[in-house]
Structure 1
């Protein structure tokens, strides 16, 4: 992994031939603060949408006549479109302009949320969820691209990505809390309506404060690559959701996973042959891009699915209400905010690799501590609350480290691709985590739903979760090179090339 150099540079070029970012201001200007606020509000809202309906599913089922077996499609319809189309829309942003895609997708999100809140049939609600997922798939990489191009590499971008990561993770936790509060005090429909004024405010303000961003040379759209990667991701996500619902041997799970693997293999074959590939294999072959996204995928798989596991534990083993269980995750949310604010300081004083490894170790230790959760409320909460707080801090160090790693050392023309890949890792990780852990719980409980059986299944899945976090630590230590120390101003004045991304 290349160093993220924070000192001012002379007019030079990287070894890859791209211009080195100009010297940046030592602190955020008024305009940059406004740009950051607009982008962060949008990203927070998108993160909330991933979890806000989880607690509300039974109420939606009662209100619109969903069968118990079909309730999962409320979440699956959103997850399929959000994860499957992220990379495709990331490239579309490069073609037509990231600002246009960002604003247009938020318009779609507002309309879809209004339609979902007003839905009087299950069919209308599912269409609204698909539209929400498509809006998320477009807005997430566009917003992240606008952020990385507005803030040059260095401490300002690290700070912006740190706050973005903290709010993104906190948004997932907030969604679980907010969904319970709105459903219990008002109606499940407000879990949709709450998006409308926020989306409207961002759409009205964004055109005046955000500058358009697109590569100097307009790339061509690789339709065969876009089709195979989108269908491949749809197959994988569908197969994983079916595995979580029915088990790994279910025909739908096996069919989806098999089709997804074959289509992704076809995607890589296409990318080797087309003149303007959707994902240039040279870029994907960069150590920081490839391994950074692997680490990001593991980070989102583990922490978001831990929320699902602990929701099961709190409600099925300890007997908490949905609202009380949701509020219990407030401590995790605080931990992610603290981690997001701490991460840029850790990176600036040490290196991105240190943040990745240290954060992964902290997350592993405190996830493993949850293996000692029992069946009594007082003792269990005395362990769960501090463990989720410090686990959230560690997870956010990894997430910010992943974002910095996966988007550094690349020219502006590749930022749409880099942020599209990072957004895809985020979306797929969030989508994959819950069905994977649900399948582990199902296997460990053999279908039993008693409090003790759920406790056994959750503890088994937590062990798998901690193992995946530890795997990320090992991968980072083995495959990513430590960042080089920051150079002095005198050294920067020397006409040498900037470090090339590994």
Structure 2
């Protein structure tokens, strides 16, 4: 009956609508019927074929990998960047943390804008913005200006990831097909890091570390063109209503969140950079003001009519605990391990950029295998079990690095530690991402994803800042000199990673997240069981 009414309405519209408008109406009607299903293994009607579907998912996956591939490429070049600008220690760490900090600080605002103006438009704008600022940054000769432009690059990571995951989350209904699409997307973050390391190693070794940025410019310019032609169009928008929606966004909240986080991370970083450390008055002042400002942001969000971060999202079962766990995991993975193991290989083992790349390639292989396993088992194995396995892998990986002798062969401890780190990253990302998307309605997918990615990016920035402080303090306490002193200081960072991942492991025991996308979960009671 409903189908006959739809068909008759379409026939009536044929005389007044253009062919493209009519096609969009037909597609919207088909998509509405698809979304009405609670569990589906059908291809979403917005895709013309399976090839089109796979291509679009891959294109969007590069939104998830944008931030991590950038970080991986720049980390492999860190020693060369330091030599080029004549900087080290905390000053050098800003090369990485400037991107992570701006990405984490602005992701909530840009996720809300994506929900208002259209997610495809936001992904396209992010790819173009990133290409532009990578190009400009490649010519900079001053490290402070370079770090500022790195912050501009970070805005693209803040925009691309929540918009891309919002497209996938709103396009698919729960089922194994969605699990596979999300597993592919989730692979973008850890695998993007490895792709970045490989590209960074090749460029740094054979051309220049600046070539990394020029390669990124070319790469994302191509993907911007693909987004324009292949990603399904955003739903039709009433632009006057959209302008009103943009005017109502919580810009003051964004100012509070951004300024609070910047001051907090800057204080952590400077505590390791200044000779007085925590005794420096401005460090303590910035830390306190940063915490108070962010606390004010939380209070403001509870009172404002259109909050940047709706606090009700945190009341969904398991969401807050899940964010705590993923924050601990990625503070380990992006904030400590992947930053310091690169320095360990090059500064202590004396490895070249290309050899360091070879050492880290097993992460890519393990990442692919882990995501294949996740894609076919997330509907069978409860997310709580996967999360416990992930945080155990993080903890053991950090422990292996902390206990590793300075001259031990690569295969004894470094190799298993590298593999375990990506096991933790991929499993934790898959579980947390799917749980985030299942906790909110389709219209809030990008906002929820924004919170999720805020947790990842900010904990990475905090991890780098906190571990840098630990490294600087350990270097001062060390009774050795030269390489041995450097080795002693790096071990402090690895022990910090052990502690923070152990906190996540303990928390994961209490997480109540079930399977995702099981066909049997057709009733409301069973769906409630899925999210614990």
Corresponding residue for residue 486 of structure 2? 454
In structure 1, distance between residues paired with 2:263 and 2:37:
40
Higher mean Cα deviation, 259-268 or 71-80? Answer: 71-80
Aligned counterparts, 1:9-408, within 5 A: 21=38, 23-25=40-42, 29-60=50-81, 63=84, 67-68=87-88, 70-119=91-140, 122=143, 125-213=146-234, 220-246=248-274, 247-304=277-334, 305-378=336-409, 380-408=410-438
When the two structures are superposed, what TM-score results if normalisation uses the length of structure 1? Answer: 0.86
Query: By how many angstroms is 1:214 displaced?
Result: 7.0
In structure 2, distance between residues paired with 1:117 and 1:364:
36
In structure 1, distance between residues paired with 2:61 and 2:490:
33
Find the structure with the greater CA-based Rg: 2
When the two structures are superposed, what TM-score results if normalisation uses the length of structure 2? Answer: 0.81
Cα pair 1:179 1:188 within 8 Å, conserved: yes
Cα pair 1:245 1:435 within 8 Å, conserved: no
Higher mean Cα deviation, 394-403 or 236-245? Answer: 236-245
CA shift digits 1:307-359 (9 cap, x unpaired):
22323332343333343233211122322232222223332221111111122
CA shift digits 1:161-216 (9 cap, x unpaired):
22222231122233234323212211122111011222121111112222345799
Higher mean Cα deviation, 227-236 or 26-35? Answer: 26-35
Query: By how many angstroms is 1:420 displaced?
Result: 0.5
In structure 2, distance between residues paired with 1:163 and 1:427:
20
Q: Could you say if the C-alpha distance between residues 95 and 307 of structure 1 is closer, same or farther in structure 2, counting changes exceeding 3 Å?
A: same
Q: Could you say if the C-alpha distance between residues 250 and 181 of structure 1 is closer, same or farther in structure 2, counting changes exceeding 3 Å?
A: farther
Give RMSD over aligned pairs. Answer: 3.1
Q: Which has the higher contact order (CA 8 A, sep 6+)?
A: 1
SS in 1 for 2:350: coil
In structure 1, distance between residues paired with 2:396 and 2:98:
34
Structure 1, unaligned stretches of length 5 or more?
1-17
- Is 1:466–2:498 an aligned residue pair? yes
In structure 2, distance between residues paired with 1:405 and 1:249:
42
SS in 2 for 1:329: helix
Aligned counterparts, 1:412-427, within 5 A: 412-427=442-457
Q: Could you say if the C-alpha distance between residues 430 and 206 of structure 1 is closer, same or farther in structure 2, counting changes exceeding 3 Å?
A: same
CA shift digits 1:119-140 (9 cap, x unpaired):
3555653453232112222112
Q: Could you say if the C-alpha distance between residues 62 and 464 of structure 1 is closer, same or farther in structure 2, counting changes exceeding 3 Å?
A: closer
CA shift digits 1:274-326 (9 cap, x unpaired):
12222221112223322222222112111121122323332343333343233
Query: By how many angstroms is 1:431 displaced?
Result: 1.8
In structure 2, distance between residues paired with 1:192 and 1:438:
25
CA shift digits 1:126-156 (9 cap, x unpaired):
4532321122221122122122222333322
Q: Could you say if the C-alpha distance between residues 151 and 233 of structure 1 is closer, same or farther in structure 2, counting changes exceeding 3 Å?
A: farther
In structure 2, distance between residues paired with 1:425 and 1:277:
18
SS in 2 for 1:370: helix
Query: By how many angstroms is 1:252 displaced?
Result: 4.9
Cα pair 1:293 1:406 within 8 Å, conserved: no
In structure 2, distance between residues paired with 1:59 and 1:138:
29
In structure 2, distance between residues paired with 1:21 and 1:288:
22
Cα pair 2:179 2:516 within 8 Å, conserved: no
Cα pair 1:245 1:439 within 8 Å, conserved: yes
Greater share of helix: 2
In structure 2, distance between residues paired with 1:485 and 1:92:
29
Cα pair 2:344 2:490 within 8 Å, conserved: yes
Q: What is the total number of aligned residue pairs between the two structures? A: 481
- Is 1:439–2:461 an aligned residue pair? no
In structure 1, distance between residues paired with 2:92 and 2:402:
30
Corresponding residue for residue 7 of structure 1? none
Higher mean Cα deviation, 211-220 or 91-100? Answer: 211-220
Higher mean Cα deviation, 103-112 or 284-293? Answer: 284-293
In structure 2, distance between residues paired with 1:40 and 1:263:
34
In structure 2, distance between residues paired with 1:480 and 1:466:
24
Higher mean Cα deviation, 388-397 or 102-111? Answer: 388-397
Q: Could you say if the C-alpha distance between residues 231 and 62 of structure 1 is closer, same or farther in structure 2, counting changes exceeding 3 Å?
A: same
